Structure 1
Amino acid sequence: MNFFERMKQLTGVSLNNVQKQAVRFHEGPLLLLASPGSGKTTTLNMKIGYLMLVKKVPAKRILAITFSKASARDMEERFEQFFGRLTNERVAFSTIHSFAYKVVREYFYKHQIDYTLIEGNVSENLHKKVILRNLFSEQVKQAPTEDEMDELVTYISFVKNRMVATDEALKKVNCSIGSAAKIFRAYEDFKKQNAKHVLLDFDDMLTYCLDILQRDAEIRTKYQHLYEYVLTDESQDNSVVQHEIVTILAAPQNNLCVVADDDQSIFMWRGADVTKLLSFQQTYPNGKVLTMAQNYRSTPEIVDTANTFIKRNRNRYDKKMFTENPKGEPITIHNMRRYDLQLNYVVQEIQKSPNPKEVVVLYRNNASAIRLIDLLEKKDIPFYMKDVDVKFFKHWIVEDILNFMRLSYNDRRADILEKIYTKMNAYIKKAQMQVLLRDGEDTSCFDRLQKNTHAPYQEQALRKAKKNIQKMNTLPPDEAIQLIRRDLGYDKTLKNRAEHLGFNEENLLSIVSQLEHIAEGLPTLEAFAKRLKELEEIMKTSRFNKNENVATLSTMHSSKGLEFDTVYMLDLVDGVIPSKDDVKAYKAGDVEKMEEAVRLFYVGMTRARKHLELLTYNQKDEETTRPSAFLEDVKKILLGEEVGELQLSDVVEKSENKRPKEIITNKKFQKKVVRELPKDAIQQQQDLQRGLKVLHQVYDLGYIKKVTDDEIEIVFDHYGSKKFMVDYCLTNGMLRFAEGISQT
C-alpha cells in the first residue's frame, strides 16, 4: 500500500494529482500556488508526513514556518490529527518572528550582549510607543494624536520590513507625518545608544536575524545544516526581510517549499512584497511551480466570478481556479438608497439565520463596524468580532465631543476648555487660556475671558459660545452633536486640520457622523457617554462568543483563512474599496495599491461557501456615494459581459441602480433568489397612514409620524425617530400592522 492509499485509509484524506505531485517533490525549490479553498494546509502537512514516513527525514531536520501563531497552531493540530498515531516525532512549526528571536538570542548570548524587549507585555516606561511618543514630541513640538501614533508605528514597521535604508528612500515612503524619517532615525539611535544593552522591538527580531545570518558564518552554517527542509506557508504575506531570511536558511541545498497565493497578498502596508513570489523562477531557475487551482470550498457561481474578477490584475501568475462542487445560489448585489438601510438589512438577515455561526459580515475598515454593533446590541443579537479594535472610542474626536458635553455641565472648568478651545469658533488665544488657568476664579470661563478680549469680534463670539455651550445641556445628544458641528464650528475645525496636517477629511467627518447616529434616541448627554462605554465593552467581550452560535464580524484583511456558508460584504462604495489613496496612486501610474485592493475584494468573495451578498448604497449621511468600481465589474461578469483590465473612469449610475435592491444573476446559472415576505406584511402604500402603529422587522414597535410618496418617518419606542424609503419597506416586507392607532 503506497503512502497516499494509506493516508486515505487512516485519515480519509484523498489528494488530487497536483497535490500528490507537491507532496512527492522533495529535492530542490518548489513554489506551490494555492488558490482559495484548495486544501493547502492539508497538502503541506501531508508533504511533511511524506518526508518523515517515506523519505525517513528526522523531524528535527524539518522547519515549517507560518505567518502567525494561529496558523502555526492550526498546522500543528492538523499534523497531530493525521500523524499523531504514526510517529512520536514532532516537527517545529514556528512563526518567522519566533525563529528569528531564537537566532538573535543565541547571537546576543554568544557576544555577551544584554537586551530588553520594548514591545508586547513589557514595562510601560520602556515601551516602544512611549519612546516614540517622546521622540515625536521632541521633533514636532507637540504631543501626537492616536492617529499619528498609529501611522508612525506603521511607517516604522514598513520601512524595516521593506529594508528601506537611505534617507532619500525613507522620505519617499508615504506618510502624512513630515518628520517621520527623522523620528525613525532618532528611534533607531535611541535603541542602540548602549552597545552592550540593546532595546529590541518585534521588527528588530527580523532585521537583527537577517544581519546575523549574513555576517556570522558559524550561526548561519549551524542552521543551514540543522534544517534540511524548509517549508513556508502563507508566503505571500512575507515581507522583504522575511523572504531574505528564508532564502538564506534554505541554502545551499535549496530544499525549499514555498506555499503561497499571489492573488491573496493583502498586507503591503505591513511590508509584504508579492514581487518576491513573482520572481521565484528568476531566483531559482531550476525551481518548480505547481498550481493547486481546484477549489473545494465554494459553489461554481462564486468560484467562476471570483476567478474572472481577479484576472484584471496584471502582476500575477496566470491560473484558473475551478471547482467540481454542485451548483448553488447566484451572487446577490444589493443597491440600497441609504447607508442605514444596508445595516438594517444585514441585521435582519442575521436575525433570520437558522445557523448564525455560518454567517460573516465583512468590511474594509474597523470603523464600519461601530454602527452595525450598535444596532445588533439594540436588537439583543450576540456576535463574535475577530481582532477587536476599540481605537474608535479612544479617538481624539470622540474625546473632543465628550469634552464639549462635559463643559456644558460646568462651564467654569478651565481645564476642560483648555482641551477644546482651539477647536471652536470663540477665537481664544493661548495667552488668554493661560491666564484663565491661573486666575482660580469660580465663574463661567466665557465671562472671565470677556474681561480681556483681544478684539471686538471676540466678545461677540464668546457670548455666542457661552450660549451654545449652555444650550447643549438641554438638548438630546444627537442634537447636541449637531450644535457642536454647526454652531461651534467643529466641522470647520476638522476640515482645516485635515488640510494642514494631511488627515483624511472624509474619515474625520465620518467619525462625528457615527457618534451622531449612536446618539439617536438617547435621552441625555450622560446616556450618550454611557452608551459609548457600553459599546466598547460589548466589542471587547464579544471574543467570548467565539465558539458560540453567533455571526462573525471581521475586516476583509482579518478574514483571510476563514470560510463561512454565508458572506455579506458591506460598504462597497468608491472611496472605501478602492480607497481614494488607491485611486490617486493608480492615476499617478502606481498600480501596486490598486492591485492589492482588487486582491482584498477577491479575498472577501472567496470566504463564501454557498451564499455571497454584496452591498452598496447611494447616500451616507449627507454625502452622495457611488457603487465601487469593483462592484460594477462584478455586475458585468454576472451578466456575461466582457470585462477587461480595471477601468477607473467614473462609475455611471444606471437607471436600474435607482431601485433600492437589485438581484444580479449569472447568465450561466439562470437562477434567482426569491425571498418570502411575512404573511401579515404591509405591501400597499395606501395602508401607511399617519399615526398607525407598526412593527418593524429591526426596530420593533413604533408609530408613523409622517409619510410621503418616497419616504416614511417612524417614531420607535426604544430607538427614537427613523426614516425609511417607502418602496424598500413595502418590497421587503419590513413593516407589519400593530394593534391600535397612536394618540401622539
Structure 2
Amino acid sequence: MDFFKTMERVTGVDLNDVQRKAVQCADGPLLLLASPGSGKTTTLNMKIGYLLLEKKIAPQRILAMTFSKAAARDMSERFERFFGTLTHERIHFSTIHSLAYQIVRQYFYKTGRQFRLIEGTKDMQWNKKIILRNLFTEKRKTQPTEDEMDELLTYISYVKNRMLEGERLKEAPCSLTDAAEILTRYEEFKRRDGVNVLLDFDDMLTYCYEILRDDEAIRTHYQQQFEYVLTDEGQDNSVIQHEIVRILAAPHNNLCIVADDDQSIFSWRGSDVEKLLEFPKVYPDAVVLTMAQNYRSTKEITDVADHFIKRNKKRYDKKMFTENGHGRPPIIHNMRRYTLQLNYVVEEIERTQDAGEIAVLYRNNTSAIRLVDALEKHQIPFYMKEVDVKFFRHFIIEDILNFMRLTFNDKRADILERIYPKMNAYIKKAQITQLLNKNDRTTSVFDQLATNVHAPYQEQALRKAKKKIRTLKDLPPKDAIQMIRHDLGYEKSLQRTAEHLKLNEDRLLGIVTQLEYIAEGLPDLTAFAKRLTRLEEIMRQSSEKRPGVVTLSTFHSAKGLEFDRVYMIDLVDGIIPAPDDIKEYKDGKEAKMEEAVRLFYVGMTRAKTRLELLTYEQNNEEKTAPSVFLDDVKAILQGEKVKDFDFKEPAIERKAVVTNKSYQQKKVARDIPEDAITERSDLHRGMEIEHHLYSKGYIKRINGNEIELVFEHYGTKQFMIDFCLQKGMLRRVGEV
C-alpha cells in the first residue's frame, strides 16, 4: 500500500515533504529538529506506524519514550486514533524513568538485594524530603526554610542528572555552602544498612546507567530487545538520560531523537543543549532534518519569534516559517505601574467571549499570586497549569501572621519566640528562655521583659515595640504590614537574612510587597488571614482543567501548549532576564542568557493569532525597566537590526521601551446585557439564573450582601450581590 495516501485517507493527515522524509528515515541515527507548532507528535506517531505497517517491525522491538506520563498518554491516544482501525498491534509509550525502574528492579532481583522508593510514595518514615530535612537540621542545628529545601532538592537533582562528582560538584549552582556535605550524608544514609537501599527518582537514572554500563547481560538483553529507539522532547533530556538512550540504541543505532534546541529550557533540571548540538559528532553518519513549518501561528508572530531566537549563537541554523494567513503583529504594552498591567489583563479576560482560548504566562510562580487575587475578586474562573502553593508556606508569611497574632494577645511568649530576632527590640535568647519558663499568660511579654532589661536602650525599645504591636490590630491590613516592615524592623531583618544565607533579597522583599497588595482594601487583620487561606484554597482547586476558562502558566509549563491569545506579563529586567542571567552575561558567560532567550521564545510561540507583551515602569515604590528582550521585539517589528544587550547603565535608569500605550488608566467596561438583573429586589431563593462566566445555575441562599449560587458544572459559588448587580453578571432564566 502507499503508506502516506492511506494515512491521508484514514486519518486526514497529509504530511509535508520533510515530515515524510523523517517518517521514511527508519535505519540509522536521526535528529529531527521540530520548530514550535510543526506537528512533531503527529510525525513521530506516523513514523512508528510506518515501522509497524511498512517495515513489519514487531511492536516489542520498538522503544518509544516521552518526557512525562502526560506526554506518554497523549502519544498513546493519538496512536490509537491514527492506527486503531489499521492494526491490532500496540506500542507501549513509556517515560525514561519508568524504563529505568524496570531495569533497576530486574538488577536488584538478579543480585538478591532489596530497594525501597523514598519518593512518590506516602510512606512518611522513608520519605526523601523528611530525610533531607533531618540531615539539614542535624548539620546546621536549625530547621531549613522552604527556600533552602527547594534549593537543596534542586541541587541534588542537578548533580545526579549532570553526572557531577568530586571536584565537578562545584559546577552545580547553589547558594548553600554545605550542600555537597549534606549530599554526602544523604548518600551514606540511603546505604547505611547494606541490605535495603533507599532510592529516589534521580537514583533510578543513576543506577540504570551504571547497570547498563557494567552489567553486560542486562545491557545485551535490552539492546537486543529494542531494535528501534525513538525519543520525544529530546531537548529536555538530562545528561544522564542522553547517556542511557545512547547505550540502549547501540549497536544498531536506529535512533530517532525529536527535539528543538531552541526550546531547551530546563538546564536547572539537568538538561544540556550541548548534547543536541554534539549529535552529528557522536553519530557521524546521522541524518539531521528540520521541520520548520509552523502550523500554529500567524505570519507576524512566526516571523518575530524566528528573528528573536536568532540572537542565540549556540543553536542549529534554521528558519521557522508559516503558510498561515496574516494577523496583527505582537503588541508591547508599557504600563506606568504594575497595577495597570493587572487591570488590563483582567478586563481583557472579562471582555472575551471564549476565555478558554486565553493564556496568561509568566516566568515565576510568584507572579500568579496577585493575578489569582485579582481574578478571584472579579469572579473570573481560571485553570492553573502548574499549581504551586509554597508561597503560602513561606516563612515570611508565617512571620507576618505571627506579628498579627501577637497584636491580639501580647501575653503569648511562644509567639514572641518565633519573631523576636526579626524585630528591633534588642531581645536576647536568654530573656525568651526565661519568659517561656515563667509561663505568665496574664502579663504582656513586653512588660515582663522590661523588669529585666539587659541594657538601658532596650527599655525604650520594648516600650516602642509594645505600643506598635498593640496598634497593629486597629490598622487596615496593608498599613499593618507596612508598620511591621518598616517601623518594627522586619525589612532590615530580611536583608540580613538574605546576606547571611545568600538568598535573593529582592525576592524576599517582593513577597512582603505581594502581601501588601493582597491586603489592600480588606477591613481588618482577620479578613487578611482569611484571604490568604481563601487564595490557597482556590489555587488548589484550579488544578483541574475546565472548559471555557483562562489558563495561567509559567513559561516552562506552557511548553507544548497553544492558545488563540497569549498575554506575557511581568516582562521586566530582574524577572526575565533574571539577575543571575544578567550577572553571568556581564561576566562573559552567555549560557544562562541564551536559555532566558529560549524561554521567552517558548512563551511567544504559544500564541496562534494574538500576542501581547506587558511591562511596567514602577512596582509599588520600586522603579523597574522593561525587559531588554522587548528592545529586540521592538527592533524586529520596526525592521531594525537587533543590537547586543547593554547592561552598563543601572536597569532602573535605562530608557523604557514604548510601542503601545493604548492602555494606561483608561477603563474599558464590559457591556451589560439588556436583560441583566440590576435590582436586588429581583433576586430570590430558588430562582434560576445564568452567570456570564459560569453559565446556568440557581440561587441557593441570600444572606446579607452575599448570594450563594449552585451551577451545573462548577458547583456552589458565593458572590457579592452589589458587585453582580453593578456588573450585570446575572440574567433571569426561569424558576426552580
Alpha carbons of structure 1 residues 100 and 371: separation in structure 2 relative to 1, 3 Å: same
Residue 359 of structure 2: aligned partner: 360
Alpha carbons of structure 1 residues 662 and 415: separation in structure 2 relative to 1, 3 Å: closer
Residue 338 of structure 1: aligned partner: 337
Alpha carbons of structure 1 residues 573 and 215: separation in structure 2 relative to 1, 3 Å: same
Residue 34 of structure 1: aligned partner: 34
3-state SS of 2:125 partner = helix
Bigger mean CA deviation after superposition, 449-458 or 355-364: 449-458
Residue 439 of structure 2: aligned partner: 440
Alpha-carbon distance in 1 for matches of 2:376, 2:229? 47
Alpha-carbon distance in 1 for matches of 2:629, 2:135? 41
Q: CA deviation at 1:390?
A: 0.3
Residue 268 of structure 2: aligned partner: 269
Alpha-carbon distance in 2 for matches of 1:677, 1:117? 55
CA offset digits 1:312-368 (Å, max 9, x no partner): 100000000000001011111100000011000000000111110000000000000
The reply to whether residue 459 of structure 1 matches residue 456 of structure 2 is: no
3-state SS of 1:369 partner = helix
CA offset digits 1:402-444 (Å, max 9, x no partner): 0000011101111111110100001111111111110021211
Alpha carbons of structure 1 residues 676 and 188: separation in structure 2 relative to 1, 3 Å: closer
Alpha-carbon distance in 1 for matches of 2:23, 2:277? 22
Q: CA deviation at 1:543?
A: 2.0
Q: CA deviation at 1:653?
A: 5.0
CA offset digits 1:205-237 (Å, max 9, x no partner): 000000000010000000000000000000000
Q: Is the 8 A contact 1:400 1:420 kept in 2?
A: yes
Q: CA deviation at 1:657?
A: 3.4
Alpha carbons of structure 1 residues 213 and 575: separation in structure 2 relative to 1, 3 Å: same
3-state SS of 1:222 partner = helix
The reply to whether residue 173 of structure 1 matches residue 172 of structure 2 is: yes
Q: CA deviation at 1:662?
A: 7.7
Alpha-carbon distance in 1 for matches of 2:481, 2:667? 39
Residue 87 of structure 2: aligned partner: 87
Alpha-carbon distance in 2 for matches of 1:31, 1:353? 41
CA offset digits 1:447-478 (Å, max 9, x no partner): 11111111011111011101111000111111
CA offset digits 1:536-589 (Å, max 9, x no partner): 000000123x13210000000000000000000000000000000101111112
CA offset digits 1:678-720 (Å, max 9, x no partner): 899xxxxxxxxxxxxxxxxxxxxxxxxxxxxxxxxxxxx989x
Q: Is the 8 A contact 2:101 2:204 kept in 1?
A: yes
The reply to whether residue 410 of structure 1 matches residue 388 of structure 2 is: no
Alpha-carbon distance in 2 for matches of 1:678, 1:598? 36
Alpha-carbon distance in 1 for matches of 2:89, 2:667? 54
Residue 554 of structure 1: aligned partner: 553
Alpha-carbon distance in 2 for matches of 1:318, 1:407? 61
Residue 706 of structure 2: aligned partner: none
Q: Is the 8 A contact 1:560 1:607 kept in 2?
A: yes
Q: CA deviation at 1:646?
A: 4.4
Alpha-carbon distance in 1 for matches of 2:170, 2:293? 44
Alpha carbons of structure 1 residues 656 and 537: separation in structure 2 relative to 1, 3 Å: closer
Alpha-carbon distance in 2 for matches of 1:657, 1:578? 18
Q: Is the 8 A contact 2:344 2:663 kept in 1?
A: no
Alpha-carbon distance in 2 for matches of 1:100, 1:233? 16
CA offset digits 1:651-686 (Å, max 9, x no partner): 6755873984489xxxxxxxxxx9998899xxxxxx
CA offset digits 1:25-80 (Å, max 9, x no partner): 01100000000000000000000000000000011100111001111011000000
Q: Is the 8 A contact 2:333 2:659 kept in 1?
A: no
Residue 213 of structure 1: aligned partner: 212
* Large movers: runs of 4+ above 3 Å: 644-663, 674-680
- Superposed counterparts of 1:434-583, under 5 Å: 434-442=433-441, 443-544=443-544, 546-583=545-582
Bigger mean CA deviation after superposition, 637-646 or 236-245: 637-646
Give the share of equivalent positions with the same residue, in percent: 64
CA offset digits 1:174-218 (Å, max 9, x no partner): 211110010011101111112221001000000000000001000
Q: CA deviation at 1:642?
A: 0.8
Alpha-carbon distance in 1 for matches of 2:239, 2:35? 22
Alpha-carbon distance in 1 for matches of 2:670, 2:117? 60
Cα RMSD (Å) of the superposition?
A: 2.3
Q: Is the 8 A contact 1:313 1:646 kept in 2?
A: no
Q: CA deviation at 1:244?
A: 0.2
Residue 303 of structure 2: aligned partner: 304
Amino acid corresponding to residue 41 of structure 2 in structure 1? T
Alpha carbons of structure 1 residues 84 and 679: separation in structure 2 relative to 1, 3 Å: closer
* Runs of 5+ consecutive residues of structure 2 not aligned to the other structure: 673-718, 722-726, 729-736
Q: Is the 8 A contact 1:312 1:646 kept in 2?
A: no
Amino acid corresponding to residue 297 of structure 2 in structure 1? S
* Runs of 5+ consecutive residues of structure 1 not aligned to the other structure: 664-673, 681-716, 720-734, 737-744
Q: Is the 8 A contact 2:293 2:322 kept in 1?
A: yes
The reply to whether residue 585 of structure 1 matches residue 621 of structure 2 is: no
Q: CA deviation at 1:245?
A: 0.1
Alpha-carbon distance in 2 for matches of 1:678, 1:416? 47
Alpha-carbon distance in 1 for matches of 2:283, 2:654? 48
Alpha-carbon distance in 1 for matches of 2:34, 2:585? 28
- TM-score normalised by the chain length of structure 2: 0.89
Alpha carbons of structure 1 residues 453 and 659: separation in structure 2 relative to 1, 3 Å: farther
CA offset digits 1:468-492 (Å, max 9, x no partner): 1100011111111011011100011
Alpha-carbon distance in 2 for matches of 1:60, 1:678? 57
- Superposed counterparts of 1:604-643, under 5 Å: 604-643=603-642
Alpha-carbon distance in 1 for matches of 2:593, 2:498? 23
Alpha-carbon distance in 2 for matches of 1:149, 1:446? 34
Q: Is the 8 A contact 1:356 1:551 kept in 2?
A: yes
Alpha-carbon distance in 2 for matches of 1:465, 1:515? 22
Amino acid corresponding to residue 604 of structure 1 in structure 2? G
Residue 657 of structure 1: aligned partner: 658
Alpha-carbon distance in 2 for matches of 1:656, 1:227? 54
Amino acid corresponding to residue 388 of structure 2 in structure 1? D
Q: Is the 8 A contact 1:234 1:259 kept in 2?
A: yes
Alpha-carbon distance in 2 for matches of 1:588, 1:607? 32
Alpha-carbon distance in 1 for matches of 2:432, 2:92? 61
Alpha carbons of structure 1 residues 551 and 655: separation in structure 2 relative to 1, 3 Å: closer
CA offset digits 1:286-320 (Å, max 9, x no partner): 01100000000000000000000000100000000
3-state SS of 1:139 partner = helix
Alpha-carbon distance in 1 for matches of 2:344, 2:85? 49
Q: CA deviation at 1:114?
A: 0.8
Q: Is the 8 A contact 1:336 1:661 kept in 2?
A: no
Amino acid corresponding to residue 98 of structure 1 in structure 2? S
3-state SS of 1:160 partner = helix
Query: How many matched pairs?
Result: 677
Amino acid corresponding to residue 158 of structure 2 in structure 1? F
Amino acid corresponding to residue 632 of structure 1 in structure 2? D
Alpha-carbon distance in 1 for matches of 2:491, 2:465? 15
Amino acid corresponding to residue 72 of structure 1 in structure 2? A
Alpha carbons of structure 1 residues 114 and 14: separation in structure 2 relative to 1, 3 Å: same
Q: Is the 8 A contact 2:630 2:657 kept in 1?
A: no
Q: Is the 8 A contact 2:626 2:657 kept in 1?
A: no
Residue 111 of structure 1: aligned partner: 111
Alpha carbons of structure 1 residues 662 and 527: separation in structure 2 relative to 1, 3 Å: closer
Alpha carbons of structure 1 residues 403 and 662: separation in structure 2 relative to 1, 3 Å: closer
3-state SS of 1:290 partner = strand
Alpha-carbon distance in 1 for matches of 2:358, 2:253? 42
Amino acid corresponding to residue 282 of structure 2 in structure 1? T
3-state SS of 1:362 partner = strand
Alpha carbons of structure 1 residues 393 and 677: separation in structure 2 relative to 1, 3 Å: closer
Residue 704 of structure 2: aligned partner: none
Alpha-carbon distance in 2 for matches of 1:428, 1:655? 46
Q: Is the 8 A contact 2:581 2:592 kept in 1?
A: yes
The reply to whether residue 241 of structure 1 matches residue 240 of structure 2 is: yes
Residue 189 of structure 1: aligned partner: 188
Amino acid corresponding to residue 270 of structure 2 in structure 1? G
Amino acid corresponding to residue 53 of structure 2 in structure 1? L
